[in-house]
Structure 1
Amino acid sequence: MKMHFCIPVSQQLPEALGGCYVLYSVYLDGFLFCKVRYSQLHRWNEQLRRVFGDCLPPFPPKYYLAMTTAMAEERRDQLERYLQNVTADPHVRRSDVFTEFLTMVQLHTLNITTTKAALDVFLPNGRSINVDILTSDMAERVLEVVAHKLGLHPELLGYFGLFLIQCFPEGKLSVVKKLVDFELPYTSLQSSEVENCKIGLRKWYLDPALDSMLMDCRAAGDLLYMQATQEIEIEWVKPTKAQREELKALQKKENQTKFLELSQEVRHYGYIQLDPCTCNHPEPGCAAVLSIGNNEISCCITLPDGRTQDIAFQMSRVKCWQVTFLGTLLDTDGPHRTLNQNLELRFQYSEDSRQQWFVIYTKQAFFLSSCLKKMILEKMAKLTEENPEMQIEVPEQSRSKKHPVQESQQKDFFNFLRKTRMKKAEGDCFWRTLTEGGL
């Protein structure tokens, strides 16, 4: 499946020897990923074509005359679609020419050189693992180093991931985003303008039944136990009074196996809870708290009169969804301007022969979309195991080598729309709309 790439902002900057060039700000999952010139992307595309030939998506052509506004917008749109499409191919993503270029532009965006560094990776129990890395190490490499330190079996790496996590007083937390394999954790932490942000290790699957795949590894079991106890403490998991007392007793006895077995019976175990947001159901402006997992979107909705209502949307009835991006450019001093993002995710839901669009207004819309994708991929993987004749690609679990890969047979469920409502800053260009099917 494609990734959440967009290029909402560009800057026209002077060349050293006269003239101007355009610097494109590339965003991934709603966060600044890098800043690049067309010429850099053009050379990269030529290198990729020498390796992969004509299977690559089309690259926007060069213009030898001055670009009009319409031509500039068309190029931006084409570059955006190129990044979305070229990163969808797992074979391209694993190539050296792909990773070396994206590593370079991430470092150059923040003027960081490749040097040795120490990185703290936080575990769900609040303890951190200090690992020696290079600033140019990708998330996939850092995860391998952390797993080695913890004694986590290499075949289980695909069940875990590195996340940007925002920490609040009293132990509360917010999962900002999951780092993709080719992101650099060191630069992601440096570029993030989210306060009290850390790199955290968490499991990355939303089907609680997958716990059974990890329990033979002591390190994996320890991580599941840490995360389960943390999510009970921060009230992501909703045990009854009797379950809470029994869990406390098992915790005192340090009986992790029984603790996890009981946890699986608790409401919302293994779910990811988003920050409070608003939605349009059952009426516009309702406050909501979303928990995503076990093939459902669970919503606790607060009505205008103060009453609460629990609704569960089953993923089997979600036909498609769309993220809409509205950005306002902030006029800030210094080289790094960011987008104050206003995001929404709407999904089409079928029930009782009726189809209806539900809208969720949240800054975590891209992360919510990633979670919905993850649940679909897990469902497809389960169907593949039940019916071996089905050849379905599950790229994010490819490390475990459990599922054969045929990405072209995947169905596209997601659409991305960007409507620009921005305050214009000097030297910056903005683009009106973007539509992309099957991101």
Structure 2
Amino acid sequence: MTKSMADERRSQLEQYLQNVTLDSNITNSDVFIGFFRKLQQDTFKIETQRASLDVYFADGSNIRLDIQTSDTAERILEVTSYKMGLSRELIGYFSLFFIQDHSDGALSVVKKVAEFELPYVSLQSMKELHCKLGIRKWYMDPSLDTLLMDCRASINLLYIQAIQEIERNWVKPTEREMQELEFLQKTADKVKFLELVRELQFYGYIRLDPCICDYPEAGCSADIYVGNNEINCCIKLPTNQTKEVSFKINRLRCWQVTFLGAEKDGEEETLELRFEYRDSDKWQWIIFYTKQAFLLSSCLKKIISEQMMKASKESQEMEVKMPESTKNNKKPSSQQKQVVHSSFISGRRFLFQPNEEDYVFEKIREEDL
């Protein structure tokens, strides 16, 4: 191989590994989990043995678990939920994340931990970043909060995370709203507190660290919030002017994460996420240079997944309401159901469509390999 051929092949393998992990049938298989468990342990030379692992909450408290170094994130999340008293059917609304504490007191959500990942091993490889393992809610639609209001443990998790995000100015209440929230916090009325906070700007969004983007021109810095079916960016132009831009998810055709493999301008910007976006009937690629590229990618997939599940549920409800004779005559085929989501899925490399369980995954074709 020439160098260019090797680079191209490396890029294609990288895309393949990213794509294959999106199919839950694969990631839940014993073969896949066993392969990645061995890969992670061999890479960092960590044998299977007993160890302690701390899982942190948004208020800084933590639970210490006795684990095996080979335990997956899925297993550790189950144990954490059991220790907290979180109802088993609500586990899927939460996930483990790697959280980074900065010397200036700032905090970053680095990435969502994949279910097949070994958190103990990953933390050993991230020591220089001063990361810790945290549990946070994992859905992008704030209205789903209402499904968690019958469990004390889930209410407490949502409540302390909401307080953290307000304190760090990730959620932006008005002065009047802040006074109401402070009163509800003093009276420890967590349910009403969460009802009010759901109305605030950027609640339910995930905030990324400031990063560099090439929109509307190269070299712009951006504060990114992703949620509510959009990527909201406060962009600082080279002229020091600021511009707020909302990239709507239903105008986004495809995206990809790339490992750059080299520092950018002396900084550790080694990842980029680029997406193809329709702006004024014209398609263009927009690039973010951010260490949280995988987190942003996970958020986009989660938003689309929730949209598809919501559309599927509404379709089923409409079908139930239809007269029996009409249902028999007009029952949609699986192909017709997929067309509903075609606004998301017309990319070449990354083709998103729901499977039977309404999960989102990327379709891999032979020529892409």
Contact preservation (8 Å) 1:263, 1:269: yes
Between the aligned partners of 2:122 and 2:49, the Cα distance in structure 1 is 16
Matches within 5 A, 1:19-418: 80=14, 83-84=17-18, 86-169=20-103, 171-328=105-262, 341-388=269-316, 405-406=355-356, 412=362
Between the aligned partners of 1:321 and 1:143, the Cα distance in structure 2 is 29
Task: Please give the secondary structure, in 2, of the residue aligned with 1:225.
Answer: helix
Q: What is the Cα deviation at residue 286 of structure 1?
A: 1.8
Q: Given the superposition, is the C-alpha separation of residues 351 and 69 from structure 1 closer, same or farther in structure 2, using an over 3 Å criterion?
A: closer
Q: Aligned residue for 2:323?
A: none
Between the aligned partners of 1:165 and 1:259, the Cα distance in structure 2 is 25
Amino acid at match of 1:138: T
Task: Please give the secondary structure, in 2, of the residue aligned with 1:327.
Answer: coil
Question: Which moves more between the two structures, 378-387 or 92-101?
Answer: 92-101
Between the aligned partners of 1:344 and 1:168, the Cα distance in structure 2 is 22
Q: What is the Cα deviation at residue 88 of structure 1?
A: 4.0
Contact preservation (8 Å) 1:297, 1:315: yes
Task: Please give the secondary structure, in 1, of the residue aligned with 2:231.
Answer: strand
Question: Which moves more between the two structures, 343-352 or 179-188?
Answer: 343-352
Contact preservation (8 Å) 2:305, 2:360: no
Q: What is the Cα deviation at residue 340 of structure 1?
A: 5.2
TM-score, normalised via structure 1 length: 0.68
Contact preservation (8 Å) 1:320, 1:413: no
Q: Given the superposition, is the C-alpha separation of residues 111 and 342 from structure 1 closer, same or farther in structure 2, using an over 3 Å criterion?
A: closer
Higher strand proportion (structure 1 or 2) = 1
Question: Which moves more between the two structures, 382-391 or 288-297?
Answer: 382-391
Q: What is the Cα deviation at residue 255 of structure 1?
A: 0.7
Between the aligned partners of 2:8 and 2:104, the Cα distance in structure 1 is 48
Q: Given the superposition, is the C-alpha separation of residues 407 and 77 from structure 1 closer, same or farther in structure 2, using an over 3 Å criterion?
A: farther
Amino acid at match of 1:117: A
Between the aligned partners of 2:211 and 2:2, the Cα distance in structure 1 is 40
Contact preservation (8 Å) 1:206, 1:374: yes
Between the aligned partners of 1:170 and 1:299, the Cα distance in structure 2 is 23
Contact preservation (8 Å) 1:298, 1:310: yes
Between the aligned partners of 1:312 and 1:171, the Cα distance in structure 2 is 29
Contact preservation (8 Å) 1:138, 1:181: yes
Q: Aligned residue for 2:324?
A: none
Between the aligned partners of 1:91 and 1:286, the Cα distance in structure 2 is 40
Amino acid at match of 1:299: C
Q: What is the Cα deviation at residue 70 of structure 1?
A: 8.9
Deviations 1:101-134 (Å, cap 9, x if unpaired)?
3212211222212111111000011101111111
Amino acid at match of 2:79: V
Count of residue pairs brought into register by the alignment: 331
Q: What is the Cα deviation at residue 259 of structure 1?
A: 0.7
Unaligned runs of 5+ in 2: 317-331, 339-353
Task: Please give the secondary structure, in 2, of the residue aligned with 1:298.
Answer: strand
Between the aligned partners of 1:376 and 1:135, the Cα distance in structure 2 is 33
Task: Please give the secondary structure, in 2, of the residue aligned with 1:282.
Answer: coil
Q: What is the Cα deviation at residue 97 of structure 1?
A: 2.6
Q: What is the Cα deviation at residue 362 of structure 1?
A: 1.7
Task: Please give the secondary structure, in 2, of the residue aligned with 1:328.
Answer: coil
Q: Given the superposition, is the C-alpha separation of residues 353 and 108 from structure 1 closer, same or farther in structure 2, using an over 3 Å criterion?
A: closer
Identity of aligned residues (%): 53
Task: Please give the secondary structure, in 2, of the residue aligned with 1:114.
Answer: coil
Amino acid at match of 2:287: V
Q: Aligned residue for 2:347?
A: none
TM-score, normalised via structure 2 length: 0.81
Between the aligned partners of 1:359 and 1:218, the Cα distance in structure 2 is 41
